[in-house]
């Protein structure tokens, strides 16, 4: 302090001391102030760093997104898009399964093999599914049958000779007609034996292709029954209905039964055998 200069007191030492203390306090205050300022500055800088970091992350994310978008459309998508891709695949699988099921239901289906194609032909008669038959075809050097499960009395060789090389579709269609007709005829004969054995007399005579059926059956008239004999010939082996039917009574029967025989004959010509027998029993009741 300047106050000490006007007087020559012995107060010099005291004032010096006070000066010194003041200076120290001042210094300390200044330092305190400095420290405080530094801390504040540090805090604000830290805040700034945080802000900048957040901003940096945001920008980085944007850059990554841009990169991915540019690198390819088939790439990874966000979660929402992934879920829909899975759904699309599921739908595709379901529709292919459905199509295979559909083909199976239409009767002819095929599967590529190492050496060619394997076809399966399913047979059915009026809503009932019957056996399936298979053909393993080789395609090189020419189309030919490697192995098959077609019954030996179906004229497979003849059908193959005519159509296999030129028109596979026609070949399969013709073979399918043969197999379906055979399956239908056999089914009718089996049904007749199974469900109407009480009306049959003796055994049902048939052959491998089931294209000739001969049997005797009882026709009730009044309280008597008359034996009838039936002979069904299926000349068209692609057809499950007979081309010729001969029904007659085996003993001398009253007049009206001749009409019955003719009626039965017509019925057998146009209706499935077991269904025809069904109508007999119905009309009786």
- Site of interaction with another protein (CB under 8 A): 100-101, 103-104, 109, 111, 113, 118, 120, 132, 134, 136, 147-153, 155, 158, 205-209, 211-212, 233, 235, 237
8 A C-beta contact, residue 192 and residue 214: no
CB of 104 to another protein, least distance (A): 6
Sign, CA torsion 162/163/166/170: positive
The whole-angstrom separation of Cα 257 and Cα 213 is 22
Whose Cβ is closer to another protein: residue 168's or residue 278's? 168
CB of 129 to another protein, least distance (A): 10
Tokens of 209: 């292709």
The whole-angstrom separation of Cα 131 and Cα 129 is 7
Whose Cβ is closer to another protein: residue 200's or residue 209's? 209
Whose Cβ is closer to another protein: residue 27's or residue 236's? 236
Whose Cβ is closer to another protein: residue 178's or residue 264's? 178
Q: Which residue has the tokens 């239908």?
A: 184
CB of 113 to another protein, least distance (A): 5
CB of 215 to another protein, least distance (A): 13
The whole-angstrom separation of Cα 140 and Cα 184 is 35
The whole-angstrom separation of Cα 222 and Cα 134 is 51
Whose Cβ is closer to another protein: residue 40's or residue 244's? 244
CB of 172 to another protein, least distance (A): 14
* Number of residues written out for the chain: 285
């Amino acid at each position: 302090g300047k106050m000490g200069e006007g007087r020559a007191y012995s107060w010099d030492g005291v004032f010096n001391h006070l000066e010194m203390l003041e200076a120290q306090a001042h210094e300390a205050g200044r330092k305190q102030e400095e420290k405080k300022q530094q801390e504040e500055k540090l805090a604000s800088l830290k805040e700034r760093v945080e802000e900048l970091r957040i901003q940096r992350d945001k920008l980085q994310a944007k850059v990554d997104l841009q990169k991915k978008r540019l690198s390819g459309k088939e790439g990874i998508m966000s979660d929402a898009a992934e879920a829909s891709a899975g759904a699309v695949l599921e739908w595709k699988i379901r529709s292919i399964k459905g199509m295979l099921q559909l083909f199976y239901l239409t009767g002819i289906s095929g599967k590529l093999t190492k050496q060619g194609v394997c076809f399966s032909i399913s047979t059915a008669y009026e809503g009932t599914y019957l056996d399936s038959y298979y053909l393993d075809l080789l395609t090189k050097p020419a189309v030919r049958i490697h192995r098959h499960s077609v019954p030996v009395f179906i004229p497979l060789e003849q059908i193959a000779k005519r159509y296999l090389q030129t028109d596979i579709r026609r070949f399969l269609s013709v073979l399918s007609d043969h197999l379906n007709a055979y399956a239908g005829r056999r089914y009718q004969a089996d049904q007749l034996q199974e469900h109407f054995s009480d009306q049959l007399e003796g055994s049902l005579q048939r052959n491998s292709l089931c294209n000739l059926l001969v049997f005797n059956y009882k026709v009730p008239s009044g309280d008597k029954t008359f034996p009838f004999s039936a002979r069904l010939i299926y000349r068209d082996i692609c057809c499950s209905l007979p081309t010729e039917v001969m029904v007659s009574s085996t003993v001398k029967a009253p007049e009206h039964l001749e009409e019955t025989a003719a009626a039965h004959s017509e019925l057998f010509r146009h209706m499935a055998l077991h269904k025809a027998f069904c109508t007999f029993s119905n009309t009786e009741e």
